[in-house]
Amino acid sequence: MAILVVGSVAFDSIETPSGSVDHCLGGAATHFALAASYFTQVRVIAVVGEDFAPRHEKVLTDRGIDTRGIERAPGLTFHWTGSYAGSLNEAKTLGTDLNVFECFEPKIPKEYEDSEYLFLANIDPVLQGRVRKQMPNVRMVCGDTMNYWIADHRENLLKVLRELDVLLINDGEAKMLSGETNLVKAANKVMEMGPRILVVKHGEYGATAFFCDRSFAGAASLSMPFRAPALPIADVVDPTGAGDSFAGGFYGYLASQPELTPAVFRNAMFYGGVMGSFAVERFGTERLQSVSQAEIQERFQLFREISHLE
Amino acid sequence: MAILVVGSVAFDSIETPSGSVDHCLGGAATHFALAASYFTQVRVIAVVGEDFAPRHEKVLTDRGIDTRGIERAPGLTFHWTGSYAGSLNEAKTLGTDLNVFECFEPKIPKEYEDSEYLFLANIDPVLQGRVRKQMPNVRMVCGDTMNYWIADHRENLLKVLRELDVLLINDGEAKMLSGETNLVKAANKVMEMGPRILVVKHGEYGATAFFCDRSFAGAASLSMPFRAPALPIADVVDPTGAGDSFAGGFYGYLASQPELTPAVFRNAMFYGGVMGSFAVERFGTERLQSVSQAEIQERFQLFREISHLE
């Protein structure tokens, strides 16, 4: 089933201990769409500027991603500059040029309206809410956010949370959003805000899914959390987009399955880790452009091998 | 098979958000021995002072732990004062009164000499080395250490590391010891210092075992790391001794098995997490004094359930 994703398509200039790249294709929606494209049909809503060339769009269309919802606007594409020079665990933002993103008004093409899965990538919650409202009949809504919206746009964010089935955030964001320092308490508080499932990403330590009582029928038996590992990787080239790639693998797999059973949710958590582990192997979206299905299956087995008793 | 453990038996005064306790029984060897006692015979080498009463010793002997190696010395028992008021993830040491521990000279009773498994809990590496030398024929040597010894007693510590089969430390210690910020690189460097297996504890995120080429025959096929989860716990009462309890569950299980196969190592990682998860439920060693075998097996299954695909 098709996923509609709204979020940023951007250019990233990144410095890591492995080197640096200038204006490589990035953005949350890009990473998400590429990762999810290995599992299901993906449709993107975003805005780009005049510097977004056919070769950039080709990265997406080569993966079968529907780009008809990517609007062209006068000006330059959203540009993020960041450095992981100090630590690969946290990006230091050196610059955020919103450019055409500043006046972004998401429009949903007619052809996208039958999308059954909606992913609200990390953008202004006001925009997330508008897209959600235009897609009232989707089967599932999953969203992401970040510390900036949690701290300074809390009321708007809370409105969006009420509309979410699944929220994917990291440890710090879950604790910040809830005001709790204990992860389980934080998760329970966040789920009271709306999401029936909360996936907390722990970076190099994997991710935990929490399920509340109001969870999907299929997931109801998962009253206990579920923990998926991350692959220990010696050479992380560029962590940018790892979380979005996790989301793409997770949600892409979910959308590809006829039924949402506990087993499907567990597999989705593993596929999230798998796609995240590919993403960091190269700069930007390079690795996600050319993973094979065999490599995905092989890595899924590896995740199983490093975490299962027998 | 019997484990000989050398380390601290102490009194802890602890403050956590759940309350506080004064002079409760603690120490690395105590936590380790109690946790391991559910799996195998444990023998303790330590020193205590005149304030160590029969009721304190009874906590150990009630669990079948051999205390003949606990020496009585004039003066007071080692006393640690710590607070988790700020964060349950890190203790703030408010006081360390070494007392009788200052002149501790480990002596191995004749009855302990046939111990097949040796655990060098976190004490001065010079003492760890002396005990190691007196037990040349053990089947396996496992050790722990901490940032203080890594930073200020490095040369002595390096001598001990060369004698270890397994080292159990946490993330920060592995990175500090190796000078690497990446966990996999840190693990490889630490294993070059001696240990054939490195278990890195990630606190609330679980633990990872790394195996080097020179690993035990049985573990040789485990060229990939193995990740065990931690149980997400809402009400952590007192994290003191969680790492030592992990070590006790891990090593106790290993010592209880006739053969060291990859499956046995994996189970041991899970049993480490299981015993660590019990330890934090109450202050000090309270919970570890009265776990039942049924509870251990039930929690082991829970660890499996929260991390396995089906």
The reply to whether A263 touches chain B by the CB within 8 Å rule is: yes
User: What confidence score (pLDDT) does residue B268 get?
Assistant: 98
CA-nearest of B130, B154, B142, B151 to B265 is B142
Tell me: the pLDDT tens digits for A127-179? 999 999 999 999 999 999 999 999 999 999 999 999 999 999 999 999 999 99
CB contact set of A170 (below 8 Å; sequence gap of 6+)? A200, A201, A202, A203, A243
User: Complex ipTM, two decimals?
Assistant: 0.93
Separation of alpha carbons B264 and A148, rounded Å: 46
> Which A residues, 147 through 186, put their C-beta within 8 Å of a C-beta on chain B?
181-185
Q: Is the pLDDT of residue B217 over 80?
A: no
Task: Determine which helix (DSSP H) or strand (DSSP E) holds B241, and give its type and residue range.
Answer: none
User: What confidence score (pLDDT) does residue B215 get?
Assistant: 52
For residue A200, list chain B residues with Cβ-Cβ distance below 8 A.
Answer: none
The average confidence (pLDDT) of chain A is: 94
User: What confidence score (pLDDT) does residue B163 get?
Assistant: 95
* Closest residue on chain B to A237 (Cα): B182
The average confidence (pLDDT) of chain B is: 94
How many angstroms separate the CA of residue B300 from the nearest CA in chain A?
11
Tell me: the pLDDT tens digits for A70-111? 999 999 999 999 999 877 878 899 999 999 999 999 999 999
CA-nearest of B31, B59, B11 to B239 is B31
User: What confidence score (pLDDT) does residue A90 get?
Assistant: 80
Burial class (CB in 10 A: 0-12, 13-18, 19+), B186: buried
Tell me: the pLDDT tens digits for B143-200? 999 999 999 999 999 999 999 999 999 999 999 999 999 999 999 999 999 999 999 9
User: What confidence score (pLDDT) does residue B89 get?
Assistant: 78
Three-state SS letters, B53-69: CHHHHHHHHCCCCEEEE
CB contact set of B15 (below 8 Å; sequence gap of 6+)? B82, B83, B84, B85
**What are the backbone angles phi and psi of residue A221, rounded to the nearest 5°?**
-75, -10
Q: How many CA atoms lie within 13 A of B104 on its CB side?
A: 31
Contact B210, B188 (CB under 8 A): yes
Task: Determine which helix (DSSP H) or strand (DSSP E) holds A90, and give its type and residue range.
Answer: none
Residue type, A163: E
User: What confidence score (pLDDT) does residue B85 get?
Assistant: 83
Distance from chain centroid for Cα B53 = 24
Three-state SS letters, B141-179: EEEECCHHHHHHCHHHHHHHHCCCCEEEEEHHHHHHHHC
For residue B261, list chain A residues with Cβ-Cβ distance below 8 A.
Answer: none
Q: Is the pLDDT of residue A218 over 80?
A: no
Q: Is the pLDDT of residue A215 over 60?
A: no
The reply to whether B304 touches chain A by the CB within 8 Å rule is: yes
Say which of B184, B226, B270 has its CB closest to residue A234.
Answer: B184
Q: Do A227 and B236 touch (CB under 8 A)?
A: no
Q: What is the mean pLDDT of residues B198-222?
A: 77
Q: What is the mean pLDDT of residues B20-42?
A: 97
Q: Do B225 and A306 touch (CB under 8 A)?
A: yes
How many angstroms separate the CA of residue B111 from the nearest CA in chain A?
36
Separation of alpha carbons A241 and A252, rounded Å: 16
Q: What is the mean pLDDT of residues A240-263?
A: 96
